[in-house]
Structure 1
Amino acid sequence: MNGDPRAILICGVAVDPTVWDQTAMTLSRNGFTVHVPVRPQSGDLDTEIQALAPLCAGALVIGVSGGATLGLELAARGVPMSAAILHESAAGSLAPGLLDDVVAGFRADGVTGFGRALYGPRWHPDMTTADADTVGRELAMFRAFEPRPPSIDPASVMLTVGEWSPVARHESVQALSTLTGIRYRVLPDTGHAAHLQNAFTPLLDDRRLVEHDDLTYARSRPQ
Structure 2
Amino acid sequence: MLSRLAKLVSGSSKSSHPADLYQQRLAIYERELGEPEHTFTDGTERRIDIHAFGRDFVPECQEGSDEGYVLLTNGMSEQRMPGAHGDAKPRAELMWYVREPTPEICANLRWLANLPFIDTTWFGFGHRVALPIPPVAGTEFQTFLFLTPIIEPDKRIAEALEIADDPVEILTVHLISHQELALIKSESLDPFLDLLDENDYPPIFDPARRSYV
Instruction: Output the TM-score relative to the length of structure 1.
Output: 0.28
Between 1 and 2, higher relative CO (CA 8 Å, sep ≥ 6) is seen in 1
Q: Of Structure 1 and Structure 2, which has the larger fraction of its residues in strand? A: 2
Instruction: Output the TM-score relative to the length of structure 2.
Output: 0.29
Q: Of Structure 1 and Structure 2, which has the larger fraction of its residues in helix? A: 1
